Amino acid sequence: MADGFRVLITDRAWPDCLIEQEVLAEVGAEVIEADAVDEARLVELAADVDAIAACWAQVTPAVVAASPRCRIVARFGIGLDNIPVDACTERGIPVTFVPDYCIPEVADHTIALMLASLRKIAFYHVQTKQGRYDLAEGPTARRLSGLQLGLVGLGRIARAVVPRARALGLQVVAHSPSGNDHDTGCPMLGFEELLRSSDVVSLHCPLSHENQHLINPVSLGWMPDHAVLINTSRGALIDHDAAWQALEQDRLGGLALDVFDPEPPDLSQPLFADPRVIATPHAGFLSQESVEELRRRTAQQIADVLNGRLPEHVVNPEVCGHLEPGSR
């Protein structure tokens, strides 16, 4: 077993790196924590490491190019919009992620945002805590049973939302480019048809150049005035200026966001003062169990590659011919 490896952790959403240090110590690897996440600093730090792990920091092609010894770029999470997969592939570097670590958490968070919006829980909570105990001040809440929930995207998280929503009596429909219902039994609709017919729309698709601002003035115009829009996926799927305009004009019933563009958002914007808007700080993935799982699995992916083994969940397997099958 080789030793003397150095692993750069660009950023983290937890207090320390003890779990990562524990796992990586088994292959003789030292953890290096970045003290800043700007490109220039990451380029400097990457020059002398054998692996890079990133949470939300942007790992640019320049960072990858500056790391001649790098054997793996690992993403702490599901999305890959901050990882230059093509640049890594060109240099023969495997990219890994953990696409299945927080499915129950994000599915539960989606349902919680829907409940808080439809039942006006956030509104009444603020009013009551401010000393106004008055039902007459509140907006009209909705009965969940019989409403239609439209899922845009039908990946692992969306599929976990389906039984949760049905248990509350909602009718669930979905849209995905493939049209595959993945044995959920969801009617598969066109994008416009789903928006026009749904009382609640929840976004569950990865961000790409093609679907940036998928929710825009045109698509918002297709939604019923009472509809609630939920996003636990990626912030840039929504044109937030257009969403605010729709709210101002009473063409949107509510907005529940766990992701933003940029992150963190400017909370002084009038959007966030609107009582119809619920915002949480990219917390959908968060639980004690999910974070520990994410950290251990990401660190193990790095350890496997440094030890010459094929890790789980490689995005670009075509560069892994030199790695032995079997990660444990």
93: which 2 tokens? 């570097």
Residues counted in the chain: 328
Q: Which residues are marked as active site?
A: 234, 263, 282
In 62-207, where do the E strands start and end? 72-75, 95-96, 148-152, 171-175, 200-203
Q: Are the C-beta atoms of 313 and 96 separated by less than 8 Å?
A: yes
> What is d(CA 312, CA 323) in angstroms, rounded to the nearest whole number?
12
CA distances from 142 to 119, 224, 247 (A): 6, 14, 18
167: which 2 tokens? 């248990």
The H-assigned helical ranges of 49-129 are 61-65, 85-90, 103-118, 121-129
Q: Name the nearest CA neighbour of 315 among 241, 189, 206.
A: 206
Q: Name the nearest CA neighbour of 203 among 258, 141, 274.
A: 258
Q: Which 3 state secondary structure label does DSSP give 123?
A: helix
Residue tagged 């679907």 (tokens): 211
